[in-house]
């Protein structure tokens, strides 16, 4: 019985610590994975502090909001940050966090939190807030306004501390310059961000893309590998970029090895089989390519894949099998559903 009570005691101790944070009697428990009940309790307590907030409350709520965002609870983090930003304790950092957390991975912002207005308020409080200028640059970039993105990223760099420049400003500027094919300048920017931001997988992806466009494929592949080593997310997309760089160097066997490793971790990745099939054709492994296309057809049957396998059957003298694939392709084309 003593052992069975331990998880329950841990739950309540964590819950008590969480509740105390917004009352000002405990420090945030960093790394705590809060339950939905605890999260809602945080939000409720933040709302209750409207008009009664102290500087200590604001500081502790800001810590909680950052924790919640790290745990993927961005909406609740924004609710808490909104309370702070509507108080006299709003500052550049809280406003920037609200703007940042109000934008999802696809660049879509929450309409209840207009990002540009929030960032303009931050800049009004502190015209030298490099993070605010950088977020404005990133927002403009995602909207396709390249001129503004360049202007805002330049501003972010110009207001940074000379001895400690805001590295994300260089990352954003690198991405913007790459978009307009100013690759040499983009590379200079991303290199400046390397030392302070080397832990960010996105930095290495940006650098890899720039180097690839400069046709420096070996270095590009190395950067993409660095992105994988610093990321805890899916590696599929980045692996395909490495494969592309190897293929452009005619290192097809090495590219096949990369895809073998990817397929081992994700055996249901039809695109990996499809790309590996095309590479096997290049190294004259036609039977291997047929095997990969067969797997593609098992996972995602398409007219194109049937036609590709039909051609390979024809090349290997298997005319009846080629004919069957041609018929299957015609049937699928006539009735795709």
Domains located in the chain, CATH noted: 9-105 (1.25.40), 127-215 (1.25.40.10)
Q: Please name which of 125, 126, 148, 129 lies closest in space to residue 137, comparing C-alpha atoms.
A: 148
Question: Residue 91 has which token pair?
Answer: 């500052």
Which has more pLDDT, 216 or 72?
216
pLDDT at 335: 74
Higher pLDDT, 183 or 47: 183
Residue 105's pLDDT is: 42
Task: Let me know: does 279 contact 247? Beta carbons within 8 Å.
Answer: yes
| DSSP-assigned letters across all residues of 113-171 | S-HHHHHHHHHHH-TT-HHHHHHHHHHHHHTT-HHHHHHHHHHHHHHSBTTB--HHHHH
Cα separation of 204 and 215, whole Å? Answer: 16
Cβ atoms < 10 Å from Cβ of 6: 9
- The band of 336, judged by pLDDT with boundaries at 50, 70 and 90, is low
Q: Which residue has the higher pLDDT, 6 or 40?
A: 40
Rounded CA-CA distance 115/111 in Å is: 9
List beta partners, residue 164: 161
> Residue 109 phi/psi, 5° resolution?
-100, 155
**Cα–Cα dist 82/133, whole Å:** 20
24: left (phi over 0), alpha (psi -120 to 50) or beta: left
| Separation CA 152–CA 144 (nearest Å) | 13
The tokens of 135 are what? 């977020």
Query: Is pLDDT at 20 greater than 60 in this prediction?
Result: no
Secondary structure class of 173 (helix, strand, coil): helix
Residues paired with 161 in a beta bridge: 164
* Six token digits for residue 31: 């790394």
Check residue 168 and give its pLDDT. 86
Nearest Cα to Cα of residue 295 among 280, 277, 313: 277
pTM (2 d.p.): 0.76
pLDDT at 112: 57
3-class DSSP assignment, residue 99: helix
CB 296 within 8 A of CB 288: no
Whether residue 237 is predicted with pLDDT greater than 80 in this model: the reply is: yes
């Amino acid at each position: 019985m003593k052992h069975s009570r331990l998880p329950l005691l841990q739950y309540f101790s964590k819950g008590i610590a969480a509740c105390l944070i917004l009352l000002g009697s405990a420090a945030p428990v960093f790394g705590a994975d809060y339950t939905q009940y605890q999260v809602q309790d945080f939000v409720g307590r933040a709302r209750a502090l409207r008009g009664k907030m102290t500087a200590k409350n604001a500081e502790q709520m800001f810590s909680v909001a950052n924790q919640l965002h790290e745990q993927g609870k961005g909406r609740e983090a924004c609710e808490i940050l909104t309370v702070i930003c509507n108080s006299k304790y709003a500052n550049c950092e809280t406003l920037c966090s609200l703007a940042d957390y109000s934008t999802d991975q696809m660049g879509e912002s929450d309409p209840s939190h207009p990002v540009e207005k929030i960032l303009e308020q931050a800049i009004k409080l502190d015209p030298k807030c490099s993070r605010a200028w950088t977020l404005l640059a990133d927002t403009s970039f995602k909207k396709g306004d390249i001129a503004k993105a360049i202007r805002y990223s330049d501003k972010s760099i110009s207001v940074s501390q000379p001895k400690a420049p805001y590295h994300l400003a260089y990352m954003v500027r690198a991405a913007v310059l790459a978009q307009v094919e100013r690759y040499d300048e983009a590379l200079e920017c991303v290199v400046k961000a390397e030392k302070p931001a080397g832990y960010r997988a996105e930095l290495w992806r940006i650098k890899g893309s720039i180097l690839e466009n400069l046709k420096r494929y070996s270095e590009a592949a190395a950067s993409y590998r660095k992105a994988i080593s610093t990321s805890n997310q899916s590696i599929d997309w980045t692996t395909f970029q490495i494969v592309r760089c190897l293929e452009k160097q005619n290192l097809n066997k090495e590219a096949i090895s990369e895809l073998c490793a990817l397929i081992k971790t994700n055996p249901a990745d039809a695109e990996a089989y499809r790309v590996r099939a095309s590479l096997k054709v290049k190294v004259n492994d036609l039977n291997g390519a047929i095997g990969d296309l067969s797997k593609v057809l098992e996972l995602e049957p398409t007219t194109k894949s049937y036609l590709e396998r039909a051609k390979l059957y024809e090349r290997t003298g298997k005319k009846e099998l080629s004919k069957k694939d041609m018929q299957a392709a015609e049937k699928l084309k006539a009735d795709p559903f």
